[in-house]
Structure 1
């Protein structure tokens, strides 16, 4: 394994030392308590104000699902773009994909609250609504099948990413983790043969996975986000949604890399130049996501089409207006200048701080995607119920992420993503 320019190359033994084999008891208790808080928050809210409870579940589903799928796509993008610099961050990104089975289960749970969220179920004041496309059965059947295909494709990609390291990891594992990892190593035919086979399969799957992610998540965002404002149309809505998940994933990787660096016997997994590369990519997508938002706004503004301005009107006035500006400050106004210089991007602590701002900003942005479209009560639907339900989602994601990150090493050992020298790529 190569080094990061300012740190020595990691040995296989050092990489294996990053496998803790268990979620620390304190953190396990914290995350389980968080899930319980979320369940209590939902149960106590749904009886008295069902719309408010389901709005919170809806926005959290859109937030965490986008980040989780981007975690697997991260490695595929490195393959297609010949991104040698990011290979050492791949396992941190992949760990986010452990939430996808929970996401898939939650998708069907959303059907129970659809009547409280989808305004087009009842009469709406617009003629620009395709009721042949927007039906409850059609929306959930269509997106359920598409998500099943996408998640299956993602897990096949993840299988071959993990398989190359599986025999080494299984030898260091115990209990149920050993049984799980051993499944990835079944039928092992030798190191050289298997690594080359995994590399070949990943190479073939990566472009297909990226294209499927873009198309399917665009359709999901149309049905579960854009349709909440009947009559509203945006040609960049799909990229606006899934690129937001991608940027959130980069922010999460920055936070987790800072947390894990030097924690295992003082082993530095990433150096300042690794963080510099991650910071440059984060900076680029901060600008790109903001460009998508502005491109969407600019066309609607100069077109002055009433059926499209109905998306921005509730988000630019009153309490929702303040939340809109908060999201733009957290996602763009602060991260952009904070990451302009070279030195800040080399500091893992600083990069993690900016990443945390971006993650909070995108939670606000996903809430803004849902709540202003359907909330017609007084005041902001943002308080203790939303906080409790969101804490529950944090607990679910943290348990899934922790289960993965404590089972596998924090960095890949037998690289399968790229061939050739850094100058030539695969």
Structure 2
């Protein structure tokens, strides 16, 4: 590995042109999503409306998680002073740049879920905390100091607001570094990233407790936060892989090669195993420590309409990456990496589906246009916003202090 400066070999001022078929498809996706959501919300069928809200929560949360994973990726590369990733940082930065919009969308969904149609009816319903009410629930009343509407909304605003501010400032500093050079922006980014990682690490479990676990307020798992974090991180890496490969196919990012892809593949592979470890630990500990009252969570997911999805989730999110990415060469092939990344993004959609649906849609569950249409809509929205963000600045952080290391990266 040499330290020869290869800057002159590449056009570092090139910008991604977001136009043509990619832009049209993203807008068509958004239109499909809007149609599906509106059809669901105006339906006279109560269950259909319930399903629409549940799908909005699923995709709103997933969208925000993937953007937050982009911010986490950027901060992690800063704090670990990683050189290999410098050349592709613009992609997670674009994802992080969309986090404020994703957060606002999720806040609106959660707000609607608390008021007009109660997604959180397990703890936010009349009389649950009133000892004189026939609906009184001792367990929920015991959690009411934490699970109450003002506290819930304040925590959501604080968590997503702080993530968004850090994401915004970190991306801003990187673009500033392009213009000014020097190490000032990098040093500030390093400090801010260290603070962000501490905040993010301690608050994401609570954020997932609130947003997802409280949908079934009787059930509790200390593993749930890390299980959600693992899903968020794997999905974020998979999204970065998809964007890197597709942008390269469009003729950009000439300085990103199979060595960078290999590292992304290792992260995707390793954290798919970690996700499975946490999934299994959550599953096994309930059995091993003999807590029958906790089995209700899994019992619901073993009902006939969920059981096939339950096992399919494990096959897609664990078995597939294990078998497909264990080989070194597989992690260096565009086709294989793209396939596994898209598979994992679908797999973690299914993972969130299994987390959310049994606690929100009580009966006559279905699977159809609402689920697929809402997912397509949010994929279109993510594509449109992230690619628009990516096209605004040069694709290379040319003054990044480790850019040379990224250009000479070999494994």
TM-score normalised by length of structure 1: 0.85
State the 1:324 CA deviation: 1.3
Structure 1 unaligned regions, length at least 5:
168-189
Find out whether 1:361 has 2:328 as its counterpart: no
Q: Distance in 2 between matches of 1:377 and 1:416?
A: 56
For residues 404 and 219 of structure 1, the distance between their equivalents in structure 2, rounded to whole angstroms, comes to: 29
Structure 1: distance between partners of 2:237 and 2:274: 13
Alignment partner of 1:410 out of 370, 395, 401: 395
Gap change, CA 1:125 and 1:417, over 3 Å in 2: farther
Q: Distance in 2 between matches of 1:375 and 1:146?
A: 27
Partner in structure 2 of residue 400 of structure 1: 385
Report 1:46-65 matches (<5 A): 46-48=41-43, 49-65=48-64
The answer (yes or no) to whether the contact 1:4–1:270 under 8 Å persists in 2 is: no
Change in Cα spacing, 1:293 to 1:363, as seen in structure 2 (3 Å) is same
Matched, 1:42 2:27: no
1:147 matched to 2:136:
no
Secondary structure at the counterpart of residue 120 of structure 1: coil
Aligned 8 A contact 2:238 2:341 in 1: yes
- Contact in 1 for aligned 2:83/2:405 (Cα 8 Å): no
Q: 1:304 to 1:198 in 2, by over 3 A?
A: same
Q: Deviations over 1:244-272 (max 9, x none)?
A: 1111111111112211225337x633222
Q: Which of 8, 11, 14 in structure 1 is aligned with 2:11?
A: 14
Measured in 2, the distance between the counterparts of 1:268 and 1:216 equals: 38
Q: Which residue, out of 115, 119, 138, partners 1:127?
A: 138
Contact 1:338 1:354 in 2 (8 A): yes
Any unmatched runs of 5+ in structure 2? 129-134
Structure 2 distance, partners of 1:420, 1:273, is: 12
The answer to whether the 8 A contact 2:97-2:168 is kept is: no
Structure 2 partner of 1:276: 262
The alignment status of 1:112 with 2:112, answered yes or no, reads yes
Q: Give the secondary-structure state (helix, strand or coil) at the position aligned to 1:84.
A: coil
Tell me the matched-pair count: 390
Residues in 2 aligned to 1:64 and 1:312: alpha-carbon distance in whole angstroms: 25
**Cα 1:240–1:4, aligned 2, differ >3 Å: closer, same or farther?**
farther
Match for 2:368 among 380, 383, 407?
Answer: 383
| Aligned twin of 2:219 | 232
Q: Distance in 2 between matches of 1:333 and 1:121?
A: 38
Residues 119, 360 of structure 2: 8 Å contact kept: yes
Question: Is contact 1:276–1:345 with CA below 8 Å preserved after alignment?
Answer: yes
Distance in 2 separating the partners of 1:421 and 1:322: 43
Query: Are 1:332 and 2:318 counterparts?
Result: yes
Give the TM-score normalised by the residue count of structure 2: 0.88
1:361–1:3 CA distance, 2 compared to 1 (3 A): farther
